[in-house]
Amino acid sequence: MWAEGVGIAAEAKGGAWIDSGGMDEFNVNLSGGQLNGNPLLLGGAARAIDCFYQLRGEAGGRQVKGVQRALAHGTYGAAGQHQGVVIMEV
């Protein structure tokens, strides 16, 4: 649903996008996404920090070679009604 919302998966095709390897193709959740924890109100900050490390070439084993742009997306609320998106570039 969120991949559709930020435009990297076609509308109503998020499940098929995941099944076809879209997360690997677009380097989604390299740090584990919410699997690495989602502390209340800090989940989006953790994603932005990971983007920062990617852009500086300091992401260790998760590093994407040649990354020039990164998108961090955080959501809050029982139905995801509060959204924050940050796009960073070098």
pLDDT tens, 17-37?
Answer: 999 999 999 999 887 766 655
For the residues 50-76, what does the mean pLDDT come to?
94
- How far apart, in Å, are the Cα atoms of 84 and each of 38, 66, 80? 15, 25, 10
**Bridging pattern class, strands 82-89 and 69-76:** antiparallel
Task: Write down the pLDDT at residue 47.
Answer: 86
**Model confidence, pTM:** 0.74
Tell which wins on pLDDT, 51 or 43: 51
Average pLDDT, the chain: 88
Task: Write down the pLDDT at residue 78.
Answer: 79
